[in-house]
Structure 1
């Protein structure tokens, strides 16, 4: 990605850690956790690779085409899965955003400020609005219901890979990373 090197490496670390946790969630005893975890791990690791600062590694154009193909397939899979529930639509938007960013990177590899003097393109702006709204919504969902209602926190015995609040925190961190990547595009 374009942009300063130190924040780029922090973004790589955040996305890789999120991808690793999501990969570990694929071993969950809860089927719903396993089902979503694979796609989220792919997104986390893909975002980590894409966030590597251009000053450290400037991949050839065919790499961006490969990104577009992989995330295009992920988008189609998420759209197909959306038949069972609308939560998969967010995964397809994320995958399509990765396809878009890969296409922009392929068109202008190594160029900083690819948007030029004309400002932010409409699609980038729409994706920024979507992911900003998603981050705000996901952040609110992290507030425990007991804290809002004034009750005692839940003391369930779910395994560390089956904790929905940790999965939500991972989705929130990927949403924040997507906003940062779109801003740096």
Structure 2
């Protein structure tokens, strides 16, 4: 499951970097990919969790001070990433992959974050279901519809849903 989260994080980060309004998802995706890499492959050392926590704390502060329409959601994502980085670091070196067995994290906070992300996935996922009058531009042979599809608001929502699903998976492991 760890490698699936790495692939999800890298894919979402890469696709979100192309969109100016989805840069927060790109940062979250990159952080999720780094946090999901198995410790047997990459050991960030004792400062790895502190660096990730600091990056996500700054990203959360940036989200709160910014003017993005989804700043509260980005702030919650940043809080969740800081929380997971601190909880996994508290599990001890070499034990991050087995944090669930060690009882890492606070059960109440983990539960609240799980409920938030489940609600977010359901609410935003329902908004992605196309209605009869809406349709996306599909690239034809000339590729003229590709920029419209990439910049469609549905793509940003799909990025957020993908990241929320990744957060759910990481919180379940915690």
TM exceeding 0.5:
yes
- 1:46-99 per-position Cα deviation (integer Å, ceiling 9, x unaligned): 111111123322321201000011000011111112xx4662100000001100
Unaligned runs of 5+ in 1: 1-6, 26-33
Confirm or deny: 8 A CA contact 1:115 1:121 kept in the other structure.
no
Mapped pair 1:179 → 2:162 = no
Structure-1 residue corresponding to 2:6: 12
Structure-2 residue corresponding to 1:52: 37
Question: Which secondary structure state, in structure 1, belongs to the residue aligned with residue 168 of structure 2?
Answer: helix
- Give runs of aligned pairs for residues 67-86 of structure 1, distance below 5 A: 67-81=52-66, 84=67
Mapped pair 1:142 → 2:136 = no
Alpha-carbon RMSD:
2.3
- Give runs of aligned pairs for residues 112-127 of structure 1, distance below 5 A: 112-114=98-100, 116=102, 121-127=107-113
Residues of 2 paired with 1:130 and 1:9: CA distance?
24
Structure ranking higher on relative contact order (CA contacts 8 Å, 6+ apart)? 1
Shift of residue 160, structure 1, vs aligned partner: 3.4
Shift of residue 11, structure 1, vs aligned partner: 1.0
Question: Which secondary structure state, in structure 2, belongs to the residue aligned with residue 159 of structure 1?
Answer: helix
